[in-house]
Each structure stands twice: as structure tokens, then as C-alpha cells.
Amino acid sequence: MNPRSSRIAATAAAVVVLAGLATGCNRGSDSNASAAGGKPAIGVDLPRADSDFWNSYAQYVKQDASAQGLNTLPVSNSQNDVTKLVANVQVFQNTGAKAVVMAPQDTGAIASTLDQLSAKKIPVVSVDT
């Protein structure tokens, strides 16, 4: 995937998450939303930082999130480790994320994490490269 496609994917992910949030997912008070002018927090986990693709993706996420005025939590990197991905998602939940963007390398291995997010009505955008 070229850098332009990476940027499109990152922007599309953000738009999908925001569309879900705008339609009423997870209504209620949230300290992170209040701190960011009422905008819900979005957690983003990247699977790696050892390729041009993911390094470009990380830059585009930061640029596009800033340009669109999104409230993103600090971007995490699970380094192709399912245990780290699960821990990063737990941090997102504990810090008030109302949506999560991730690119799991093994979706079967995080099924219980996805179930937990679903039970809490936290939408997930899974990036598949």
C-alpha cells in the first residue's frame, strides 16, 4: 500500500469511528471528552514501527487527527505482540476511550478483547493491510 492509500485508510478509519460516535454510541459523561471540548477520546494502536508503511501510517494518523480536531489518546504500538495489544486496549478503556482503532495481526487471539469492547459499546475499527 502506498503512502496515499495509508492516509486514506487512516482518514476512513477516523470517519467511521466518528460517524458511530455521532449517532449516539456511548452516550453519557466522560472526563476525556470534557477535557477535549466534548469530543470523545479515540485510542489508536499500531502493530509495528519497523516498516515504511506503518511509520507513514502513524504520521498520517497524527496529521489527520489534528487536522480534523479529533481527540486521540497517545498512539500506542503493540509491536506484533498480542499481549501488548490487549494491554494497550485496556489502557484505552481505563483512560476513557469511546472508540478504538487497531490493526491486530491475529484477530482470533484478541476475540475476548473485542467481546469486552463490544459489551461496553466501544466501536472498533480494525485496519487490515
Domain ranges of the chain: 3-126
CATH architecture of the domain with range 3-126: 3-Layer(aba) Sandwich (3.40)
How much is the average pLDDT of 21-41? 56
For residues 6, 8, 11, 16, the Cα torsion angle rounded to the nearest 10 degrees is -110
Rg (CA), the chain: 14
Q: Please write the tens of the pLDDT for every residue from 84-94.
A: 999 999 999 99
Name the nearest CA neighbour of 92 among 70, 125, 54, 122.
122
- Specify the DSSP class assigned to residue 96: T
Its pTM stands at 0.75
Q: Given this model, what pLDDT does residue 103 score? A: 93
